[in-house]
Structure 1
Amino acid sequence: MIESGNPVPEMGIKLVTDTGTEDTTTQTLFGQGKSVMFTVPGAFTPTCHVNHLPGFVANAAKLRAAGVERIVCASVNDHHVMKSWAEASGALQDVAFLADGNGSLAEAMGLAKDLSQFGMGTRFARAAMIIDNGVVTAVFVEDGPGVNSSGAPAILMALEAA
């Protein structure tokens, strides 16, 4: 699993922002400045849609005040689903959506989780991380259901403590 001090794996990604969908790389996205990336098992899934994403939207101004330049939500969904979720949630002004359609980034980060028993296949584990100039400086992986250590309040506390 990715740890503090590890670089974000370099690979091509699809990113959904308020300006549209684009092909880019993790290096381009995370290579400069401070980012918070949170990973969710699936767009529109109850906990992700009702608890995880809204916390980051509600705390976007506080995260920016703490030095975060970009907030990124990643999920193993295609870019069409991520675009629909971004639009439906009204989060595009505050959050960029990383579509990891094949789960390649989840696998490379060691955050792939087999949710086949729920009919979801391999997905991202629920987690969040602080990334500074392409290097992970803190990782928070949920060890049970719900949003606790990977939610926006926990990330704010970590940023303030640093």
Structure 2
Amino acid sequence: MTIAIGDRIPDVTIKKVTAEGAEEISTASYFAGRRVVLFGVPGAFTPTCTNSHLPGFVENYDAFVARGIDSIAVMAVNDAFVMGAWAKFTGAQDKLDFLADGNADFARALGLEIDLSKGGLGTRVKRFSMLVEDGVVRQLNIEEIPSNAEASGAARLLQQLG
């Protein structure tokens, strides 16, 4: 079952990339008491994710903060080493939290997993964006086509925040 507006984020252990390496975190504690923009990408370093989806959130970081957002996080079904390298490659490590869902546990718990085996990628997360307030989903945007990054882009979520 796909997560929906009004649902609580499922509690799953994932890894957050830090300057010191990967830190295991509980999604329940990560989202508790905060307003967080979370967006998911099918894969770090993939063209649409790197060139179209992630840049909008970096470029609009200040606009999100001005609307009361505490953190912007990007998650992918990649290991923490890949997510750490992607954070450095994009230069976004000071603005975004990079969350590694290496086994797709969080993607499955959200009901947002997608089988991209035909492209050699295996199980990944659908491209999405959401606003989470104190662990509850308040806005949710899911792309129908994995190679698109419009419905789940930063501009769309900023529009929803008003």
Give the alignment's TM-score, normalised by structure 1. 0.96
Q: Which letter does structure 2 place at the counterpart of 1:48?
A: C
Residue 152 (structure 1) aligned with residue 147 (structure 2): no
- The residue aligned with 1:108 is 109
Q: Which letter does structure 1 place at the counterpart of 2:8?
A: P
Ranges of 4+ aligned residues in structure 1 off by more than 4 Å: none
Alignment deviations for residues 28-83 of structure 1 (CA, whole Å, 9 cap, x no partner):
11111100000000000000000001110000000010111000000000000000
Whole-angstrom distance in 1 between the partners of 2:18 and 2:96: 7
Whole-angstrom distance in 2 between the partners of 1:7 and 1:19: 30
- 1:10-49 correspondence runs (5 A): 10-18=11-19, 20-49=21-50
The answer to whether the Cα contact below 8 Å between 1:17 and 1:95 also exists between their aligned partners in 2 is: no
Whole-angstrom distance in 2 between the partners of 1:4 and 1:17: 29
- The residue aligned with 1:59 is 60
State the identity as a percent.
43
Q: CA RMSD in A?
A: 1.0
- 1:53-92 correspondence runs (5 A): 53-92=54-93
Name structure 2 gaps, 5 residues minimum.
none
Which secondary structure does the structure 2 equivalent of 1:101 belong to?
A: coil
Whole-angstrom distance in 2 between the partners of 1:2 and 1:74: 16
Q: Which letter does structure 1 place at the counterpart of 2:53?
A: H
Name structure 1 gaps, 5 residues minimum.
none
Which secondary structure does the structure 2 equivalent of 1:48 belong to?
A: helix
Residue 146 of structure 1, CA deviation: 1.3
Whole-angstrom distance in 2 between the partners of 1:71 and 1:2: 19
Which secondary structure does the structure 2 equivalent of 1:137 belong to?
A: strand
Which secondary structure does the structure 1 equivalent of 2:159 belong to?
A: helix
Residue 119 of structure 1, CA deviation: 0.2
